[in-house]
C-alpha cells in the first residue's frame, strides 16, 4: 500500500473545513470544540448527536452503536468505522480484519481524545487524512468512556490543566477510577467495556489521557505493551510500532517521550525517572495479558487545548496508518501468542515487574527552574521559567525485569462451590474459559496456598481493603462439592487467568481483598480453657513440650506474648479452624474428569 496522506496543521485545516458561513449540514459533523477554536468542549448530548450524524452522513462506512448504560442512565456510544464491510465482530473475525480501539475520556477531565477523535474521523472519511486506512481495518471509536464523570462539568475540575474552559470529572458517578478497574471490573462501565472488547477483540487499544506534573517542553508520551514484557514476538512488534509512532508525531512537530514523565521524587526534576510495566489494573498493561497491544497516550496538561487536540489528532491518524500497514501482521503474531499461552502450564512465569538500579542519562527538554521554601506550605517548591528552555541531564531507570515469579499450574485452578458463582461471573467478564463440575471430588490431590503472614491495607482503595499475602503452594488432599469450577491454564488468556487467580499477583482477586473473609479469624478458645488444654497437651506429648520450651528460650517476642503462647497450643488442637488463612482457590495437575 502506498504511503497514506500526511496531516495538515490542525487549526488551518479546521478553518478550511468550517468557515464562518458553514451550513447546518457541515456543523452537524463538527464539534463545539472545533467551532470554538478548540477553547471549549461539548457535553455528552453532543456525542450522541455526532454518533448518529456520522452514521447518517457515511452510511457505507460508519455505524453508531450502544454498548452499555451508565449508572446514571446514559447510553454508552461507540462509532464503528470501516470500508471493509465488517460492521459486526463476527464479520471482522470472518474476514480477519484488524480492529483498532480508540478510547477517549476514561478520565473525563482529560477529554482531548473525544474532540480529536471526531475531527480525525471526519478527515479520514473525507479522504483528507490516512487515505485508504479504513480499507484495511475497523476503527472502534469510544469518544467518552467515563460518561457520568464527563457530565460532572466544571471550570476547575483539572486545576493544573490549560483548557478546555470547562471539563468533566476524573472518576465515575460511583467514584470509581476506571483506569484502575480493568481486572477487578467493579464499575458497570468497565463491565460494558470488557463485553465490547470480548466481542471485537481489538488488536490495538489506544487509551487517550492528559498527564499531570511538572512544566517541560515535551508534549506527549507513549507507553506501549508488549514492549518490556509479554510474548517475545509481540514485544518486537510493539517496539517497532512505538518507534514508528514517535517518528510520525515528531515529523508533525511534537516532542514525544517513550516513558511516563513523572519524577521519582515528586516536584524534584533532578530525581529523574523510572520506567516500568504497570500492573493490569491499567489499560495499557491489561491488554498485554490478552496477547494484544495497548498504548497509553499522555499529552501534557500545561500545553493549551488547541495544541493538545492537534497532537492527539495526529496520534490517532498515525495509529490508523500504522494499523493499516501492519494490522494483519499483528493479528498473525497475536494468534501465535495465543497458541503459546496455552502451553505455559508447569513453567515459571512472572507476575510483576520492576526497574533495576541501572541508570542511563537522558536529555530531557525542560525549563529553567528554582527550588525554594514556600511561605504558604513550608515545603520546598519548584518554580519554572517557561521563557527559558533548558536541556536537563537526568537519570532514567528503564531496564525492566520480572520482580516475582510463580510456577503456572500444570492443569489449572479449582474454585470451590462456595466461591463459584461470583468468581465465575468475574471470569466471564474477561472472556476466560472455565467449566462447572457436575460431581463432587473426593480426596482430590491438589496444591493449596496457606498464608503465613497477612497484611491488610490500613486504608480503602477503590472501595476495597487490599491484602498482601505471604505463603506458599503445597500439596494437600481435599474434598470439593459439586458445582466447583475448573479453570484450565491451557487457554489463550492463561496470563490473565494467572493475574486474576494467583494470590500474590498485584491485581488478583485476593490482592484486591475479595477473599478477605478467608483470612479473618472467626473462632477462638477462651484463655481459661486454653490454659487447661495446654497443660494436658504438654503432659501427653514430650516432643511438643520440648518445642514449646525451645520457643520460650529462643524467641523473646513469643515469650512476652501471652496470646501467642496460648495460640501455640490452640493451633495444634483439633478445634483449630484448619481453613483459617487457606486461600479458597486450589491448583491441580490433572483436569477433573481426565
Q: What is the pLDDT along the chain (594 residues), one digit of tens a residue?
A: 333 334 444 444 444 443 332 333 457 899 999 999 999 999 999 999 999 999 999 999 999 999 999 999 999 999 999 999 999 999 999 999 999 999 999 999 999 999 999 999 999 999 999 999 999 999 999 999 999 999 999 999 999 999 999 999 999 999 999 999 999 999 999 999 999 999 999 999 999 999 987 999 999 999 999 999 999 999 999 999 999 999 999 999 999 999 999 999 999 999 999 999 999 999 999 999 999 999 999 999 999 999 999 999 999 999 999 999 999 999 999 999 999 999 999 999 999 999 999 999 999 999 999 999 999 999 999 999 999 999 999 999 999 999 999 999 999 999 999 999 999 999 999 999 999 999 999 999 999 999 999 999 999 999 999 999 999 999 999 999 999 999 999 999 999 999 999 999 999 999 999 999 999 999 888 899 989 999 999 999 999 999 999 999 999 999 999 999 998 998 898 888 899 999 999 999 999 986
Q: Report all structural domains of the chain as residue ranges with CATH numbers, in order of start.
A: 10-340 (3.40.630.10), 355-402 (no CATH), 408-521+580-588 (no CATH), 527-570 (no CATH)
Say what the pLDDT of residue 26 is. 58
Say what the pLDDT of residue 1 is. 37
Contacts of 587 (CB under 8 A, 6+ apart): 409, 412, 413, 414, 446, 447, 448, 473
Do you find a cis peptide bond into 99, omega within 30 degrees of 0? no
The C-alpha angle with vertex 583 and arms to 461 and 474, in degrees rounded to 5, equals: 135
Say what the pLDDT of residue 28 is. 82
**By three-state DSSP, how is residue 504 classified?**
coil
Contacts of 376 (CB under 8 A, 6+ apart): none
The C-alpha angle with vertex 198 and arms to 42 and 430, in degrees rounded to 5, equals: 105
Strands (E) across 83-194 are located at 99-103, 138-142
Closest by CA to 433, choosing from 480, 479, 496, is: 496
Say what the pLDDT of residue 192 is. 99
Q: Tell me the CA distances in angstroms from 299 to 214, 250, 270, 287, one per residue in order.
A: 13, 14, 22, 21
Per the confidence metrics, is the pTM higher than 0.85? yes
CA–CA separation, 220 and 227 (whole Å): 18
CA–CA separation, 228 and 356 (whole Å): 13
Phi, psi of 497 (to 5 degrees): -55, -45
To which residue does cell 527550588 refer?
Answer: 371
Q: Tell me the CA distances in angstroms from 390 to 4, 183, 360, one per residue in order.
A: 36, 41, 19
Cell numbers at 492, concatenated: 489463550
The H-assigned helical ranges of 58-185 are 89-94, 112-125, 147-150
> Are 241 and 322 within 8 A, CB to CB?
yes
Amino acid at each position: 500500500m502506498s504511503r497514506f496522506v500526511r496531516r495538515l496543521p490542525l487549526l488551518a485545516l479546521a478553518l478550511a473545513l468550517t468557515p464562518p458561513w458553514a451550513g447546518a449540514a457541515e456543523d452537524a459533523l463538527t464539534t463545539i470544540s472545533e467551532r470554538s477554536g478548540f477553547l471549549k468542549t461539548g457535553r455528552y448530548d453532543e456525542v450522541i448527536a455526532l454518533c448518529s450524524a456520522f452514521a447518517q452522513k457515511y452510511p457505507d462506512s460508519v455505524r453508531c452503536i450502544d454498548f452499555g448504560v451508565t449508572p446514571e442512565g446514559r447510553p454508552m456510544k461507540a462509532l464503528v468505522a470501516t470500508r471493509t464491510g465488517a460492521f459486526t465482530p463476527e464479520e471482522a473475525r470472518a474476514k480477519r480484519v484488524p480492529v483498532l480501539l480508540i478510547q477517549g475520556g476514561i478520565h473525563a477531565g482529560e477529554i482531548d481524545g473525544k474532540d480529536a477523535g471526531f475531527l480525525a474521523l471526519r478527515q479520514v472519511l473525507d479522504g483528507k487524512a490516512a487515505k485508504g486506512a479504513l480499507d484495511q481495518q475497523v476503527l472502534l471509536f469510544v469518544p467518552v468512556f467515563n460518561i457520568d464523570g464527563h457530565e460532572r462539568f466544571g471550570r476547575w475540575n483539572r486545576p493544573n490543566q490549560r483548557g478546555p474552559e470547562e471539563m468533566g470529572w476524573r472518576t465515575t458517578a460511583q467514584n470509581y477510577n476506571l483506569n484502575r478497574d480493568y481486572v477487578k471490573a467493579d464499575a458497570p462501565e468497565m463491565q460494558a467495556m470488557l463485553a465490547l472488547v470480548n466481542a471485537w477483540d481489538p488488536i490495538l487499544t489506544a487509551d487517550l489521557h492528559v498527564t499531570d506534573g511538572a512544566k517541560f517542553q515535551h508534549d506527549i508520551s507513549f507507553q506501549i505493551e508488549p514492549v518490556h514484557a509479554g510474548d517475545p514476538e509481540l514485544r518486537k512488534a510493539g517496539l517497532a510500532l512505538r518507534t514508528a509512532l514517535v517518528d510520525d508525531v515528531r515529523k508533525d512537530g511534537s516532542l514525544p517521550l517513550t516513558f511516563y514523565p513523572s519524577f521519582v521524587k515528586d516536584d524534584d526534576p533532578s530525581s529523574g525517572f523510572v520506567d516500568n510495566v504497570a500492573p493490569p489494573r491499567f489499560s495499557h498493561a491489561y491488554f498485554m495479558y490478552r496477547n494484544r497491544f495497548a498504548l497509553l497516550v499522555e499529552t501534557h496538561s500545561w500545553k493549551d487545548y488547541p495544541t493538545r487536540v492537534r497532537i492527539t489528532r495526529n496520534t490517532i491518524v498515525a495509529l490508523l496508518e500504522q494499523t493499516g500497514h501492519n494490522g494483519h501482521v499483528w493479528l498473525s503474531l497475536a494468534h501465535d501468542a495465543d497458541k503459546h499461552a496455552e502451553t505455559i502450564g508447569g513453567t515459571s512465569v512472572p507476575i510483576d515487574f520492576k526497574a533495576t538500579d541501572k541508570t542511563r542519562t537522558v536529555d530531557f527538554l525542560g525549563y529553567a527552574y528554582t527550588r525554594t521554601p514556600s511561605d504558604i506550605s513550608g515545603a520546598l517548591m519548584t518554580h519554572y521559567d517557561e521563557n527559558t528552555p533548558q536541556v536537563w541531564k537526568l537519570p532514567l531507570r528503564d531496564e525492566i525485569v520480572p520482580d516475582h515469579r510463580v510456577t503456572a499450574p500444570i492443569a489449572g485452578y479449582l474454585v470451590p462451590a462456595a466461591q463459584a458463582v461470583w468468581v465465575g461471573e468475574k471470569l466471564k467478564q474477561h472472556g476466560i474459559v472455565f467449566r462447572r463440575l457436575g460431581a463432587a471430588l473426593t480426596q482430590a490431590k491438589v496444591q493449596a496456598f496457606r498464608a503465613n503472614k497477612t497484611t491488610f491495607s490500613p486504608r480503602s482503595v477503590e472501595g476495597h481493603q487490599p491484602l498482601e499475602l505471604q505463603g506458599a503452594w503445597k500439596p494437600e488432599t481435599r474434598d470439593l462439592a459439586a458445582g466447583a469450577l475448573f479453570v484450565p491454564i491451557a487457554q489463550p488468556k492463561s496470563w490473565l487467568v494467572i493475574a486474576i487467580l494467583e494470590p500474590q499477583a498485584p491485581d488478583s482477586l485476593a490482592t484486591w481483598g475479595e477473599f478477605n473473609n478467608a483470612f479473618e479469624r472467626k473462632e477462638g478458645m477462651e484463655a481459661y480453657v486454653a490454659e487447661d488444654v495446654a497443660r494436658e497437651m504438654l503432659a501427653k506429648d514430650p516432643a511438643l513440650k520440648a518445642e514449646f520450651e525451645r520457643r520460650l528460650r529462643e524467641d523473646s517476642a513469643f515469650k512476652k506474648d501471652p496470646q501467642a503462647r496460648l495460640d501455640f497450643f490452640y493451633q495444634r488442637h483439633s478445634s483449630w479452624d484448619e481453613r483459617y488463612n487457606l486461600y479458597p482457590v486450589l491448583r491441580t495437575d490433572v483436569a477433573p474428569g481426565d
